[in-house]
Structure 1
């Protein structure tokens, strides 16, 4: 019979008492651990954790990026006001030219491209070409950029402007000129793949030198029946424009990257230099927009009907090409970063080349030059909206960025 006296515990052996104490201690430890775990879970709710890991599109942008739509609107407004209310601003901005583009605009384009090209990892680009998917991506890009997009612009120009030959020809030139500048901005803002974007820019630049002139002659002289005059496009104009607006910032970026990495190391380059140089891309973009609107503001206001008529097919073109490419890439199983790069490359256009060719072939005050000039004025706000839209779509559909 077990004793219930207080002395029974004293009668037990020391080893039995030690085992009993250890069991009590372990039980307390386990219970305490579970309780703490439950307490932590109750005190730290899940939604804030998810919000920190997946910030909204607006929260993920820096200050300059976050209010970019406002800055662009102000740049457009200030440019239009300067062009219409300050005497001789437009002629002064267009007085000096560099490669058939006004010097202020040329400066803006070079400043805009240089910082983004500094981010490209040129030392490891050769590894990208080892992947089979990259060659598939390049094949898709070539088809969309050099066959689908120009044909879509041709169809839209005829659908919206059947009675305006000059405006129609200007739009066709915009459709053929594939982007080598602003696509870097949009791709960077939308978290696309920067290295792959640089490859596409380089490939499209080389193809522009080869294909732009014959495609322009084909689309304007053969695919546009009833044209009042045969159009002549100079290879020299195209090659020079591409060499300047891609070659100069690309060479400067390559020299900068390898020199600074060698002299100061990776930490300085990525944490100091790129942090300083990064905002200059958007500053160059805003400056370029302001100069564009200031130099063409009076012409845009005076020919507002023509501007509106040209704007309609441009809005349809940018939106249609972007979403069609994005849907196709998603259906093909491409990752977000590559799909976005493909879409912005397809929907963007080399307006500096289109303007230069239109001015050289038809004159600075022609309808063709006006249509080419309206191109970037519509492209900038539309593609900026697509940046916000595609990031919202990717978050809602859980498309990993």
Structure 2
């Protein structure tokens, strides 16, 4: 049965959905980025120490930060509502087209347009474009008041396609398509097993933990206790994990980033275009398909976000930690984090002017954010 579209929230309502910490998120992220870069520059051995122990090619501290970051958001998901998402074929089809057709093709085009003379960075960007979102996008979607259940489903869908398609698409975009177009060819060494392990570690573990938390918590104490007492306690850890991950990530490549500022700028330009185009295209597509604000926002952020941990791991495993491909992978989140944080605020601004035109009146999450 269709439901009435919710009234547009007021400025006070939107602001009230964000805690004081979340409202100043750009400041905290900026401090974390600068702090990480300075640590990597001022303490030369820090990067080596942080990278000494890895999980599936990713530094252990980064892996821990990602797990801590993702768990609270996945613990908020109402898993008994996922069927309302899986039945929305428009949303699922739109996500598949944006993520696995348009996204890789757009990054390929931008990499060749902006970096025709820098093959290492160009290859690194293409790898970033192939690694679709499974991690930080959950945070951005939650802050923008997107549909939490839809985000969980689309991230899981991306994970399955990542396992099945990443290696094949890497071969196509780095070897086959350039050959057809008479361009320089590259290669990629990423097995399905490697990609599956990455997805299992960075999505499977926090997803299972989040599901069990809700299932066992509600069974033992009830939904009211779980959402009004438990979630507010664990919720801030998502931001703590995010900031810790950013500090460690930029500390690992602090010297490379600060020693090659012009190279970083050249890598950053196509990334800026890419993130803005994918988010804008996703938001426009959601509006054209008459999705609710919540699902339109989720579609936009899952289209714009990328799985940088997988991209960095593949680049390091294939080309080495000191390679240009690895540097391009690190510059990815350097640009993605502040851009998508900015788009969170753009989304909240648009939310005040959005009219829910969804004929099905899609169910949205009402759990505390």
Give your verdict on TM over 0.5. yes
Asked if 1:78 corresponds to 2:35, the answer is yes
**Residue 223 of structure 2, aligned match among 253, 262, 266:** 266
Q: Conserved in 2, the CA contact under 8 Å of 1:118 and 1:256? A: yes
Asked if 1:164 corresponds to 2:118, the answer is yes
Deviation (angstroms), 1:80: 1.2
Give the direction of change, closer, same or farther, for the CA distance of 1:128–1:344 in structure 2 (3 Å limit): closer
Give the direction of change, closer, same or farther, for the CA distance of 1:280–1:54 in structure 2 (3 Å limit): same
Partner Cα separation in structure 2 for residue 399 and residue 189 of structure 1 = 19
Give the direction of change, closer, same or farther, for the CA distance of 1:54–1:300 in structure 2 (3 Å limit): closer
TM-score of the aligned structures, taking structure 1 as reference length: 0.83
Return 5+ residue gaps in structure 2 as ranges: 1-6, 357-363, 365-369
Tell which deviates more after alignment, 259-268 or 379-388: 259-268
SS in 1 for 2:12: coil
SS in 1 for 2:178: coil
Asked if 1:315 corresponds to 2:272, the answer is yes
Partner Cα separation in structure 2 for residue 217 and residue 259 of structure 1 = 43
**Residue 191 of structure 1, aligned match among 134, 145, 168:** 145
SS in 2 for 1:95: coil
TM-score of the aligned structures, taking structure 2 as reference length: 0.90
**Residue 253 of structure 1, aligned match among 197, 207, 210:** 210
Tell which deviates more after alignment, 53-62 or 65-74: 53-62
Matched positions, count: 348
Asked if 1:93 corresponds to 2:40, the answer is no
Return 5+ residue gaps in structure 1 as ranges: 1-49
- CA offsets 1:320-358 (integer angstroms, 9 cap, x no match): 111122112212221111100000000000000001111
Partner Cα separation in structure 2 for residue 210 and residue 284 of structure 1 = 29
Partner Cα separation in structure 2 for residue 369 and residue 52 of structure 1 = 43
Partner Cα separation in structure 1 for residue 100 and residue 132 of structure 2 = 8
Deviation (angstroms), 1:89: 1.2
More relative contact order in 1 or in 2 (CA 8 Å, sep 6+)? Answer: 2
Asked if 1:367 corresponds to 2:324, the answer is yes
SS in 2 for 1:88: helix
Tell which deviates more after alignment, 226-235 or 315-324: 226-235
SS in 2 for 1:191: coil
Q: CA RMSD in A?
A: 1.8
Partner Cα separation in structure 1 for residue 340 and residue 23 of structure 2 = 15
Partner Cα separation in structure 2 for residue 51 and residue 222 of structure 1 = 48
